[in-house]
Amino acid sequence: MATISARKGPDENDKMVVIGYQAIVRKKGHPSQTKTFRAKRDAERWARQIESEMERGVFVQRTESEQTTVNNLLDRYSREVLPTLKGGYREQSRIKALQNGLGAYSLAALNSSMIAKYRDKRLSTISEKTGRMVGPQTVKHELGLLQRALKMAVMEWGIALPGGIPTATVKKPGLPPARNRRLVDDEEERLLAACAEARNAWLRPVVIFAIETAMRAGEIVETWKLNKKTGKREIVSIGLQWSEVNLKKRTAHLPETKNGNARTVPLSSRAVAVLEALPRNLDGRVFGVTYEGIHQSYVRACRRASITGLTFHDLRHEGISRLAEQRLTILELQAISGHKTMQMLLKYTHLRAEDLALKLK
């Protein structure tokens, strides 16, 4: 049975008056539960709920989840988990957004309705970074981060959530159609001709290599980012190294990738020819240039070639689609592209209907 007792304290005249009610629930097989309320009816309601949960075998210890805010949770996640993740630095802006919107709530109070309201508010917010509306992909990443942090709290840190993980029942924002930009007609010839005219001699071999291998930009060339906290540029990826290339076996090994898994990429005859024609850099890099060093050159080359809407990352789409057209299996495509899920791989694979038609009888 629950015990409800009045709690007294001095008023402004130092007279002892009732300032609240303490409810204590004791039941064999469960730790004693205590909580204080302003009103007696609230104490009684809480005690009845706890007793009912204990009797039905669904009681969850709330103390730690009531004392831990979303701010506390995300600070700990940032401190203990992000440093262990490849590309964990990308999560910092998402953590900041979540803390601004939900940080003050305790984990015990957090529910799906609050998270849904956060989702809707974010989708109607203008980003300080871009000056445009926050996109559904951004919000989806933020909700995914919150869900991972809550799972970590339950599974690793021993913080029980009375109502379960609330993000699990919140509908994720609908995403716009995936990009399906590919090189069409004579665009590849025009692009490579424009790249050959560029002052940056590395541009043309990098573009060809990107198309032939379907590798990410950071897997091909050295990539840097600006650390907003320190104001200094930091290296994100070192790019492809000669020590990881085997021209005899026609492979390029990538020990570190965006998703954290190493993989070995097979090289086509055209990719091998590109590598064989390159000078050897003393620093070990295959391509002696950074992504920042070729990005503007690539944009200008597209402009000279009268090609619009073709980003450097679209070359990865092109490469994966060409591999798929060579009738490689899904497992073979995943091994080359490095995608962990079929869903992500399919977003990058865009087969031309006219090419498929040639295979039909």
pLDDT band at 49 (very low <50, low <70, confident <90, very high): confident
What's the mean pLDDT in 191-203? 95
As a whole number, the mean pLDDT across the chain is: 87
Given a cut of 80, whether residue 26 has pLDDT beyond it is yes
Given a cut of 90, whether residue 212 has pLDDT beyond it is yes
pLDDT band at 344 (very low <50, low <70, confident <90, very high): low
CB 207 within 8 A of CB 217: no
How, if at all, do strands 263-266 and 251-254 pair? antiparallel
Given a cut of 90, whether residue 29 has pLDDT beyond it is no
pLDDT band at 229 (very low <50, low <70, confident <90, very high): low
Question: In percent, how much of the chain has pLDDT > 90?
Answer: 49
Q: Please tell me the predicted confidence (pLDDT) of residue 339.
A: 74
Q: Please tell me the predicted confidence (pLDDT) of residue 350.
A: 61
Residues 6+ apart with CB under 8 A from 141: 94
**Which of 146-155, 170-179, 196-205, 241-250 is predicted least confidently?**
170-179
Given a cut of 80, whether residue 338 has pLDDT beyond it is no
**Which of 54-63, 205-214, 253-262, 327-336 is predicted least confidently?**
54-63
- Give SS3 for 284: coil
Reported as a single tens digit per residue, the pLDDT across 270-282 is 999 999 999 988 8
**Which of 146-160, 229-243, 249-263, 330-344 is predicted least confidently?**
330-344
Q: Please tell me the predicted confidence (pLDDT) of residue 227.
A: 72
Q: Please tell me the predicted confidence (pLDDT) of residue 177.
A: 75
Residues 6+ apart with CB under 8 A from 79: none
Whole-number Cα distances in Å, 89 to 84, 162, 164, 236, 273: 10, 31, 28, 10, 36
Residue located via tokens 């970074």: 129
Given a cut of 70, whether residue 314 has pLDDT beyond it is yes
Given a cut of 80, whether residue 297 has pLDDT beyond it is yes
**Which of 21-30, 96-105, 280-289, 298-307 is predicted least confidently?**
21-30
Q: Please tell me the predicted confidence (pLDDT) of residue 353.
A: 58
Given a cut of 80, whether residue 347 has pLDDT beyond it is no
* Residues assigned a catalytic role: 216, 258, 313, 316, 339, 348
Residue 245 has φ and ψ, to the nearest 5°, of -105, 130
Q: Which of 8-22, 149-163, 220-234 has the highest mean pLDDT?
A: 149-163
Comparing 3 with 212, the larger pLDDT belongs to 212
Q: Please tell me the predicted confidence (pLDDT) of residue 346.
A: 65
Which domains can be identified in the chain, with CATH numbers?
A: 2-59 (no CATH), 66-169 (1.10.150), 187-359 (1.10.443.10)
Given a cut of 60, whether residue 330 has pLDDT beyond it is yes
Q: Please tell me the predicted confidence (pLDDT) of residue 304.
A: 96
Q: Please tell me the predicted confidence (pLDDT) of residue 111.
A: 94
CA dihedral 34, 36, 40, 41 (to 10 degrees): -70
Given a cut of 90, whether residue 70 has pLDDT beyond it is yes
Q: Please tell me the predicted confidence (pLDDT) of residue 127.
A: 81
pTM for this entry: 0.65
Residues 6+ apart with CB under 8 A from 222: 235, 237, 238, 239, 285, 289, 290, 291
Q: Please tell me the predicted confidence (pLDDT) of residue 360.
A: 57
Given a cut of 70, whether residue 105 has pLDDT beyond it is yes
